[in-house]
Amino acid sequence: MITTKQRSKLKSMSNTLRPAVNIGKGELTDNVLNEIATALYHRELIKVAALKSCDTPARELCAEVCAALDCQSVLCVGNRFVVYKRSDKDGIEHIDID
Protein backbone atom coordinates (compact mmCIF):
# COMPACT_ATOMS: atom_id res chain seq x y z
CA MET A 1 0.00 0.00 0.00
CA ILE A 2 1.32 3.41 -0.88
CA THR A 3 1.11 6.32 1.54
CA THR A 4 -0.50 9.69 0.92
CA LYS A 5 2.88 11.32 0.45
CA GLN A 6 3.95 8.67 -2.08
CA ARG A 7 0.61 9.03 -3.90
CA SER A 8 1.14 12.79 -4.08
CA LYS A 9 4.56 12.32 -5.66
CA LEU A 10 3.17 9.83 -8.19
CA LYS A 11 0.32 12.23 -9.04
CA SER A 12 2.78 14.98 -9.84
CA MET A 13 4.79 12.60 -12.03
CA SER A 14 1.65 11.49 -13.89
CA ASN A 15 0.72 15.02 -15.03
CA THR A 16 2.98 14.81 -18.07
CA LEU A 17 2.10 11.23 -19.01
CA ARG A 18 0.13 10.40 -22.11
CA PRO A 19 -2.31 7.46 -21.96
CA ALA A 20 -0.43 4.21 -22.57
CA VAL A 21 -3.62 2.17 -23.05
CA ASN A 22 -7.06 3.15 -24.33
CA ILE A 23 -10.15 1.19 -23.29
CA GLY A 24 -12.88 1.32 -25.90
CA LYS A 25 -16.15 -0.29 -26.81
CA GLY A 26 -14.91 -3.79 -26.01
CA GLU A 27 -14.60 -2.85 -22.33
CA LEU A 28 -11.98 -4.53 -20.11
CA THR A 29 -10.96 -7.73 -21.91
CA ASP A 30 -8.05 -10.07 -21.25
CA ASN A 31 -6.11 -8.43 -24.08
CA VAL A 32 -6.54 -4.98 -22.53
CA LEU A 33 -5.43 -6.32 -19.14
CA ASN A 34 -2.37 -7.88 -20.78
CA GLU A 35 -1.51 -4.53 -22.42
CA ILE A 36 -1.82 -2.75 -19.07
CA ALA A 37 0.31 -5.42 -17.35
CA THR A 38 2.98 -5.11 -20.04
CA ALA A 39 3.01 -1.32 -19.79
CA LEU A 40 3.30 -1.54 -15.99
CA TYR A 41 6.17 -3.99 -16.32
CA HIS A 42 8.11 -1.60 -18.54
CA ARG A 43 7.15 1.78 -17.03
CA GLU A 44 5.79 1.20 -13.47
CA LEU A 45 3.47 4.24 -13.72
CA ILE A 46 0.92 4.46 -16.52
CA LYS A 47 -2.13 6.46 -17.48
CA VAL A 48 -5.14 4.67 -18.96
CA ALA A 49 -7.95 6.37 -20.87
CA ALA A 50 -11.52 5.15 -21.17
CA LEU A 51 -12.88 6.30 -24.52
CA LYS A 52 -16.38 7.77 -24.88
CA SER A 53 -17.57 4.53 -26.47
CA CYS A 54 -16.80 2.68 -23.22
CA ASP A 55 -19.95 2.33 -21.08
CA THR A 56 -18.19 1.52 -17.79
CA PRO A 57 -17.04 4.52 -15.71
CA ALA A 58 -13.28 4.99 -15.32
CA ARG A 59 -13.49 4.59 -11.53
CA GLU A 60 -14.96 1.09 -11.90
CA LEU A 61 -12.41 0.18 -14.57
CA CYS A 62 -9.61 1.35 -12.27
CA ALA A 63 -10.90 -0.83 -9.43
CA GLU A 64 -11.14 -3.86 -11.74
CA VAL A 65 -7.62 -3.31 -13.10
CA CYS A 66 -6.16 -2.92 -9.60
CA ALA A 67 -7.88 -6.09 -8.40
CA ALA A 68 -6.82 -8.11 -11.45
CA LEU A 69 -3.19 -6.96 -11.64
CA ASP A 70 -2.45 -6.27 -7.96
CA CYS A 71 -1.42 -2.67 -8.66
CA GLN A 72 -2.13 0.59 -6.82
CA SER A 73 -4.57 3.26 -7.93
CA VAL A 74 -2.94 6.69 -7.93
CA LEU A 75 -5.50 8.97 -9.52
CA CYS A 76 -8.87 8.79 -11.24
CA VAL A 77 -10.21 11.93 -12.90
CA GLY A 78 -12.87 12.06 -15.58
CA ASN A 79 -12.30 9.29 -18.10
CA ARG A 80 -8.64 8.68 -17.18
CA PHE A 81 -6.90 6.90 -14.36
CA VAL A 82 -3.32 6.31 -13.28
CA VAL A 83 -1.99 3.08 -11.76
CA TYR A 84 1.38 2.14 -10.26
CA LYS A 85 3.11 -1.17 -9.73
CA ARG A 86 6.77 -1.66 -8.87
CA SER A 87 8.41 -3.64 -11.65
CA ASP A 88 10.87 -6.49 -11.16
CA LYS A 89 12.43 -5.84 -14.57
CA ASP A 90 16.21 -5.46 -14.57
CA GLY A 91 17.87 -2.61 -16.38
CA ILE A 92 15.25 0.10 -15.90
CA GLU A 93 15.36 3.10 -13.62
CA HIS A 94 12.80 2.40 -10.90
CA ILE A 95 10.61 5.19 -9.60
CA ASP A 96 11.80 6.25 -6.16
CA ILE A 97 8.64 6.93 -4.16
CA ASP A 98 10.20 6.96 -0.70
Does residue 91 register a pLDDT over 90? no
CATH of segment(s) 4-84: 3.30.110.60
Buried b / exposed e over 24-40, threshold 16 CB at 10 Å, is eeeebeeebeebbbebb
Segments making up each domain of the chain, as ranges? 4-84
Does the pLDDT value for residue 76 go beyond 90? yes
Task: Please report the pLDDT score of residue 26 as a whole number.
Answer: 83
* Mean pLDDT of the region 64-68: 96
Percent of the chain topping pLDDT 70: 100
pTM of the model: 0.92
Q: Flag whether pLDDT at 1 surpasses 90.
A: no
Instruction: Tell me the C-alpha distance between 72 and 87, whole Å.
Output: 12
